[in-house]
Amino acid sequence: MVLITKVNAYRAAVVLTGKKIRSGYFLNILLKGAARRGTRNIVLTVFSPLGSPHYLEVLRDVIQNNIANALNIEFGGDTPEDLERFLSNEDEVDLFLDDPSTPFAEKARGLGRDFTLIPYEEVVTHE
């Protein structure tokens, strides 16, 4: 069964490795991608070694600040191989990563897929 909000949706994939992404920046990119395609429906497939549902904590602000669009979030897997399987079946998907030095980024480069790096906030710890 396909949800009506997935029909003609803007499709994006994101790899979240635990960095605190700049959620306003990321949400803005998603909204612009949907607007370019003339839709208010966004399907976001998440790949994360954090696993489900822990990646939702990273996306909390994106979810809470989205008031104008239908946002469907799906968990795609937790390994670079899961990302590879997904990308081999999806041509029309924008890919976002929070870290360009992970095995996920290497896998995307190996497949010849471009990705957009999501800026993240450095976490400063005081010892």
Question: What is the DSSP secondary-structure string of 32-57?
Answer: HHHHHTT-SEEEEEEE-TT-TTTHHH
10-117 CATH: 3.40.50.11100
Domain ranges of the chain: 10-117
Give which of 112, 117, 34 is closest to 69, Cα–Cα: 34
Q: Tell me what pLDDT residue 120 has.
A: 87
* Residue pLDDT, tens place only, 70-105: 999 999 999 999 999 999 999 889 999 999 999 999
In three-state secondary structure terms, 116 is strand
In three-state secondary structure terms, 20 is strand
What is the spatial distance between Cα 5 and Cα 55, in angstroms, rounded to a whole number?
22
pLDDT (mean) for 36-43: 95
The answer to whether residue 126 scores a pLDDT higher than 60 is no
Q: Tell me what pLDDT residue 53 has.
A: 82
